[in-house]
Structures are given as structure tokens and as C-alpha cells.
Amino acid sequence: MNISKCDLAAKRCKPCERGIPPLDRQEIDRLLKGIGGWELSGVELVKTFQFKNYYETMAFVNATAWVSHREDHHPDLEVGYKQCRVRYTTHAIGGLSENDFICAAKIDALILPLGS
């Protein structure tokens, strides 16, 4: 069953504890289809966002921090003058969880309409 960006963005993150297995490749591929533009890099979801200027970049970084705080699931951010690279993984389980995909969809919603 396919899942959309809207479906993922509507969900809330759940705490992950050690001992919970990371998602398997089949589930990762299914969820990845729902968040176009994100790539799998090892055990991370990665996307680079481009902006017109530093101000827009920092506004995005601050909005991402707000989403991360609300979900209690925090990405690694690499910030440059006109870009921000976002990397999600669930450190507690050593791989990807549904939380990573939920947050990726929420971050995309900061930029793109949910129907995209």
C-alpha cells in the first residue's frame, strides 16, 4: 500500500527505544516513494534545499528547528549561504524509523504544498 506525503505529514512521531528494529529495505522503499526528492544515503534520509539568499535559508532552518522540537525528532543540518542539507536517521535504533519519514514530509511541507 502506497503512502503519500500528506499521510506522513499528518502523523506524529513516536518515541523509539533501543531494541526496536530499524525499517527493512522494502518498507524504506515504500515510504521513500511518498516523499519525493529525498534520497537514501546509508542509514540516512537526505535532501538539500536551495534558497534565494541567506535570510530564506535561516528562516527554513528556524522552521525546521520548530518542527523538530514539536516532534522530538531532530535532523542533522548543514547550513550554507543559500542551501541547507537535512539528514534524518533514528540514532537510538541505528537506522531509519517511520519518524524519519514523518519529519521529512513535514519539512517538505514548509516549502511545498502537501499535494506535490
pLDDT digits (tens, 9 = 90+) for 11-65: 677 777 677 899 999 999 999 998 989 999 999 999 999 999 999 999 999 999 9
pLDDT value for 76? 97
Three-state SS sequence of 47-112? EEEECCCHHHHHHHHHHHHHHHHHHCCCCEEEECCCEEEEEECECCCCECCHHHHHHHHHHHHHHC
Q: Is 99 within a domain?
A: yes
Q: Is 78 within a domain?
A: yes
Q: Is 47 within a domain?
A: yes
pLDDT value for 45? 97
CATH code, 103: 3.30.1360.20
Segments forming the whole domain that contains residue 69: 42-116
Domains: count for the chain: 1
pLDDT value for 87? 98
Q: Is 94 within a domain?
A: yes
Q: Is 93 within a domain?
A: yes
Q: Is 98 within a domain?
A: yes
Q: Is 83 within a domain?
A: yes
Q: Is 31 within a domain?
A: no
Instruction: Give pLDDT tens digits for 67-84.
Output: 999 999 999 999 999 999
pLDDT value for 19? 75
pLDDT value for 90? 93
